Chains A and B, each alone.
Chain A
């Protein structure tokens, strides 16, 4: 796998502007800890994923122990503890999507990418996930591709979407 931006060797520090943003976020809440989830989102965007050194760094910004940050990071599905691909393809496998053929959609993505859910392609291009309800059941089967929802999927549409990811 290629080394993602911000992997272990890079120093874990926010820029001055980012630190100002951290302070601004912390002041929005009656207790600055309220800003922990937003700051972890920022950290993931900046460093690629939430490594143990990133947890330690963020803990320092909140006067928390690394363990307190770790238990938060590991609780939520959107924080990655390992490097992720440049794109994340999350295919919904809950009830309405299953009723609309989600199994075939996931099978097509696995075949096309040559990986299982939870894995990343060797070139670091795509991480595949099989996820719970994304609440777009009117357009099932569906998936989240990075920030966007891809609706009314067919195996052919999955091919086109995956081919379009650089």
Chain B
């Protein structure tokens, strides 16, 4: 090494959002700094001010077109909390169906389109080939299965939300549109296929994890705090309590979403428009936590459904607890995919899912503030609104999934940069022959 050097990746690809990576290397070849630069933001917190609060669930999905359903639901829950409203039980079931439909399609998309190219085509394949298009061409059965799983989730989300991007039917007090019997029957008919495809995906994923065992257990293993939602210890994505787990695996906080400010704090870095959310009592950067699939499966005691529980136990048996291996995010994603499929089946078979009693007749705005929290595919999502007597938003605060992760991503990036640039770890890893040559 002769001089100082900066490695820049612009933009980071197969990522949803806008980011660059900047790695600074010193004269000695040591990694001096590793930055994940989120390069834009849109100021939703500000321009929600002055709007009708009941319309916020129409604005909020536009924060993220890949996971608009969680934003739609976190938003409507925040307004209901502020106005002191409890929606009918059937509406909650329809909403659970909606968020699980998204969970299924998003996890399938993430695994097959964003992650799998690295594993199936290979991390050192030429960039032009390392993508979903290649998978579709070279492994048509897998490609087709992936597309059909995504399609099922997106079409189900559209049947409930009006459109999958951006859903429109959740309103303070319930849902504007009941879930029809025709739709119920239509999707229930497909569930056997989904069950099969989910099982096939799990099998494929486990093969990938075996093949890349060296990579998973050695590259980017980083100790952080973890955050996720649970319901009496079981994995939960629509409504529950928030757990924080320390790097040793002890639950250090278990709070109601309304109290999020006791645990959540945002650090504004010099080099990113996305703030780093961390565990407040510990401070920054020691309190940096991660959210999303691995974090959720770390903080819960069990999954909510039997097949997911099986997959969950296998993952824990092999990787221990808590799991710090960043690549295990993909494994946890598949565990959650299985649960989403099972939840969908349970909900579709519930007679109440087609109930017409899905909206309160009388909903009165009032002055107050409310917190809505759900688990988005990529992590814990919080909307917090203040409204006036007319039910108009006077202030908004939001903690989105990405912000719960960027601190952890940066920590991982630092670790991987050191492994790659200082130890040449990528040359020493045992890699399989890619499935797609």
Real complex partners, A and B? Answer: no
Residues of B within 8 A of A (CB): none
Show the binding face of A for B, using Cβ within 8 Å: none
